[in-house]
Structure 1
Amino acid sequence: MGTHLSGVGAHRRGKVPAMGRELTGGTRILAGVGLAGAVGFLLVLDLERRDIRVVTKALPMICLLLWLWQPRERYSRWIFAGLALSLLGDVLLDVGPELFLPGLGAFLLAHVSYAAAYLTVTRRLHLARALPFGVLAVGASVALGPGLGGMALPVMAYVAVICTMGWRAWALMGAPGLARREQWLAFAGALLFAASDGLLSIKLFVRPLPGAGYAIMSLYWAAQLCIALSARGPGTSNSSVLDPGAAAKQTA
């Protein structure tokens, strides 16, 4: 696991800690608006008011994007891109069922962005850590397969990508260049995202899960918050996470 020495090393390399981590007035406002949006969406979750649903659902992600703005380093920029793509996916999925595939595509690209962020920290394979996610991908494909029909290819592609993202989040653990707290936040975000999408997949393609929407969205927002926090914590710098020397060590 990572230690505080990675933070010391970052300081010695002249990296400047990210600014604005303290709970400022602006942060409190964004947190309040985001929480209000989340609560509002859960209150209208079962109503046929797509206009209200789209607005309230988007608010938490908009607030996270505003809080993370302006991303200055590669890790933060990739995380920001993933959050923005997730916002797009949120809107597309709630506008109507005819936009399910574009929404799924937006989330697939979001996971690609998160995986790219994690790869800026370490490119070490950690194949043993890939194994559980490979098993998860195969198991999910087998469980969902009978109910997918014509959606089999895009859904299987999505499963493969989110499992890859989870693997790369676990590969962060113990890597230099990102503090231990931020490593855990990224990994927790990946696991929460997988749990949220797992419930959603069962609900859509296996059998109805009455009331599951509340758990799905709560897990989803918790996942995005953890991932965003990993890009704005005390272990994140305003320069590239991997310097050439660190990259050489990671690929050795």
Structure 2
Amino acid sequence: MDAGKAGQTLKTHCSAQRPDVCRWLSPFILSCCVYFCLWIPEDQPSWVAALVKCLPILSLAGFLWVVCPCGGYSRLLQGALLCSAVGDACLIWPGAFLPGMAAFATTHLLYVWAFGFSPVQPGLLLLIILASGPYLSLVLQHLEPDMGLPVAAYGLILMAMLWRGLARGGSAGWGALLFTLSDGMLAWDTFVQPLPHARLVVMTTYYAAQLLITLSALRSQMAKTD
């Protein structure tokens, strides 16, 4: 679902926008290939590993800076992507897990701000709480006492981001959903039970999510110019 949806959305945007849109997305595609080809082991933290992991996200921020330089929506997405890069770098080192989680919490808050609160769709929020609440509760049962509050707060912020992303719709909604699935699998693999191929699935859905949310800025720009 993630690769197909991302590919379809990318093709649509590239055909509907200026020809240089795909050209400016090339650094993202190439840096993703570098990350997956190098596949630096997680037990070898280094600044090189951090840079390789962050490059796809930084390239998306650069893409928005070049292709969508104006507008509050694009600037909020750029800020969120930069915070994501900080979080990615922190998570390379196990001892920096909490700063990394704080950086990603800031990312989600910026996405919530960007997505806005219209339409409100309270029914959608209720559905997300009913679907995600039991999962979050199960994860919390496997945490050390001092980790419970930070993880619970992060989970609530993630639910809010999913709510506003789905309410906005389009590629932002798909991106928010994939981001939530990626974080959910990462939480399970980290705190509950190791999952087979978890890193591959987590990073694939994560990069696809960030791409889809980034492409939503093109839709926002088109709406303003129509």
2:158 — aligned with what?
A: 162
Larger radius of gyration: 1
Out of 214, 221, 225, which is 1:236 matched to? 221
The corresponding residue for 2:140 is: 145
Determine if contact 2:90/2:99 at 8 Å carries over to the other structure. yes
Unaligned runs of 5+ in 1: 1-18, 173-182, 241-252
Q: Which residue of 1 aligns with 2:123?
A: 128
Structure 2 unaligned segments of length 5 or more: list them. 1-15
Q: 1:20 to 1:205 in 2, by over 3 A?
A: same
Among residues 201, 222, 239, which one is paired with 2:187 in the alignment?
Answer: 201
> Pick from 46, 70, 73: which aligns with 2:71?
73
* The one of 54, 58, 76 aligned to 1:58: 54
Answer whether contact 2:140 2:151 (CA < 8 A) is retained.
no
Report SS of the residue matched to 1:231: helix
Q: CA RMSD in A?
A: 2.3
Q: Give per-residue Cα distances to partners, 1:72-123, cap 9 Å, x unaligned.
A: 11111111111111011001111x111110100000010000010011xx43
Is residue 102 of structure 1 aligned with residue 99 of structure 2? yes
Q: CA deviation at 1:23?
A: 3.7
Distance 1:128 1:103, change over 3 A: same
Matches within 5 A, 1:37-48: 37-41=34-38, 43-46=39-42, 48=44
TM-score normalised by structure 1 residue count: 0.75
Q: Cα offset for 1:192?
A: 0.3
Count of aligned pairs between the two proteins:
207
**Structure 1 contact 185–230 (Cα < 8 Å) conserved:** yes
Aligned mates of 2:125, 2:193 — CA distance in 1: 29
Contact 1:137 1:160 in 2 (8 A): no
1:216 paired to 2:202: yes
| Aligned mates of 2:125, 2:22 — CA distance in 1 | 41
Alignment counterpart, residue 173 of structure 2, candidates 187, 207, 214: 187
How far did residue 199 of structure 1 move?
0.5
Q: Distance in 1 between matches of 2:21 and 2:159?
A: 36
Map of 1:116 onto structure 2: 113
**TM-score of the two chains, using structure 2 as the length reference:** 0.83
CA distance in 2 between counterparts of 1:224 and 1:210 reads: 23
Q: Residue type of the partner of 1:78?
A: L
The percent of aligned pairs where both chains have the same amino acid is 31
Q: Secondary structure at the match of 2:143?
A: helix
Question: Which amino acid letter does the alignment assign opposite residue 209 of structure 1?
Answer: L
Query: Would the aligned equivalents of 1:185 and 1:226 in 2 still touch at CA under 8 Å?
Result: yes
Q: Are the counterparts in 1 of residues 84 and 104 from structure 2 also a CA contact under 8 Å? A: yes
User: Larger helix proportion, structure 1 or 2?
Assistant: 2
